[in-house]
């Protein structure tokens, strides 16, 4: 039987060679000596290894749409021409050196109240003070994430400016040659902060009821869709559940996904969690695939599944049974950057190898 995982997927005018994709993974490795938020040789090696390993679509780590939107001082950005030039180098490399006809997507983000934090391997935790290179964070209200500094509640002028920043970043991604753009609306970052009733306590037009809380997310979708070509696919990453009482649930996420699809989103990348520290996640292999399945069928939009998806048969089952249209790999890809070559072999499907590695094509076992 042909492999469903290794069948192509068409999104607008873009054909993606198969359904095994690389999830965005922050590297916290942009260094002052190579420029604020500018990707460097580490990112080239990191992303390039997946291209050589047979991935069909590689999403970048979250690229902040303005300086205040970075998760940490070492996060990548898409708010300057120097950053866009750094990303263009990655795009060109992946287009030239992928085992399959590899595609690359830019994830655009703003961390909101979860910005200005120490990177995970810094030896410190919590918010970075301004005296150590941090900055004042912003959010829908002054409520902080547990253990972080309090943000400033955004004015309407600031909200509109962020929408414009997303559009400008999308334009830079197009100029850099990216194949896909994804809006990061998950994991407790700014757009999710506005969406979640656990965080957004505003009473103006950017809060209140569900329509008000979804407004920023959907206006960013409109702005980005208008900033990129009609032929370019637009993805949206959401947290389908806050895993906390009174928070976003899958029913609300279905409604959001349906509205986003009507505005031009082509695939919803379905994750969960991140809004609050008291979430009660019930993690298990494939624990988020049910969310992707529910959004796909109830909202009528293609979805990608992510979260403890590690084995080729597991990924094949998700696509073959119509639970999601693609599978995003994260930690499994870090452990094995050639995961897709191995998966194709295990599923009895042939995909190309880069010529430099052809001597390693398995003949009698992987």
The Cα–Cα gap between 16 and 175 comes to 20
H or E, element range at 366: none
Question: Pairing relation of β-strands 152-153 and 57-64?
Answer: unpaired
Distance, in Å, from the CA atom of 336 to the CA atom of 56, rounded to the nearest integer, reads 15
Q: Which of 28, 118, 189, 287 is catalytic?
A: 189
CB 58 within 8 A of CB 102: yes
The first and second tokens of residue 267, run together, are 């695939």
Q: Residue 279, exposed/middle/buried by CB under 10 A (0-12, 13-18, 19+)?
A: middle
CA gap 110, 114 in Å, rounded: 9
130: Cα separation from own chain's centroid: 28
CB-CB contact of 257 with 304 (8 Å): no
Taking the C-alpha atoms of residue 218 and residue 209, their distance in angstroms, rounded to an integer, is 14
Distance of alpha carbon 205 from alpha carbon 221, whole angstroms: 17
Q: Does the active-site annotation cover 189?
A: yes
HSE-up of residue 133 (Cα within 13 Å, Cβ side):
12
State both tokens at 307: 């979260």
How crowded is residue 337: how many other Cβ atoms within 10 Å of its Cβ? 21
Q: Which of 291, 112, 69 is nearest to 200 (CA)?
A: 112
Can you read off the two tokens belonging to residue 300? 């009528």
Length of the chain, please?
A: 366
The distance between the two most distant Cα atoms of the chain, rounded to a whole number of Å, is 65
**Which residues, in sequence order, are bridge partners of residue 138?**
152
CA dihedral 247, 248, 250, 255 (to 10 degrees): 140
Residues 6 or more apart in contact with residue 153 via CB below 8 angstroms: 138, 139, 140, 141, 142, 202
Return the active site residues: 189
């Amino acid at each position: 039987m042909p492999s469903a995982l290794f069948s192509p997927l068409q999104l607008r005018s873009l054909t993606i060679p198969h359904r095994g994709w690389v999830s965005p993974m922050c590297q916290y490795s942009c260094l002052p000596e190579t420029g604020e938020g500018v990707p460097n040789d580490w990112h080239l090696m990191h992303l390039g290894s997946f291209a050589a390993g047979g991935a069909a679509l590689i999403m970048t780590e979250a690229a902040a749409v303005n300086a205040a939107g970075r998760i940490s001082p070492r996060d990548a950005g898409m708010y300057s021409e120097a950053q866009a030039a750094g990303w263009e180098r990655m795009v060109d490399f992946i287009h030239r050196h992928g085992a399959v006809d590899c595609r690359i997507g830019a994830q655009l983000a703003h961390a909101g109240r979860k910005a200005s934090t120490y990177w995970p391997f810094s030896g410190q935790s919590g918010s970075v003070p301004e005296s150590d290179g941090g900055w004042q964070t912003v959010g829908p209200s002054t409520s902080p994430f547990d253990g972080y500094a309090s943000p400033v509640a955004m004015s309407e002028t600031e909200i509109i400016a962020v929408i414009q920043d997303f559009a400008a970043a999308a334009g830079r991604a197009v100029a850099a040659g990216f194949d896909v753009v994804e809006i990061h609306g998950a994991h407790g970052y700014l757009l999710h902060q506005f969406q979640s009733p656990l965080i957004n306590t505003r009473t103006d037009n950017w809060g209140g009821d569900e329509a008000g809380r979804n407004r920023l997310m959907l206006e960013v979708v409109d702005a980005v869709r208008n900033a990129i070509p009609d032929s370019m696919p637009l993805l949206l990453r959401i947290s389908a559940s806050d895993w906390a009482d009174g928070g976003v649930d899958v029913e609300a996420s279905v409604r959001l996904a349906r509205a986003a699809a009507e505005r031009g989103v082509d695939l919803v990348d379905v994750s969960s969690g991140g809004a609050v520290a008291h979430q009660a996640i019930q993690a298990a292999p494939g624990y988020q695939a049910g969310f992707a399945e529910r959004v796909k069928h109830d909202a009528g939009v293609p979805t990608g599944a992510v979260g403890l998806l590690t084995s080729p048969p597991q990924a094949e089952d998700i696509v073959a049974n119509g639970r999601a249209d693609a599978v995003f790999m994260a930690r499994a890809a870090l452990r094995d950057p050639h995961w897709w070559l191995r998966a194709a072999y295990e599923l009895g499907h042939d995909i190309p190898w880069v010529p430099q590695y052809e001597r390693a094509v398995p003949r009698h076992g992987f």
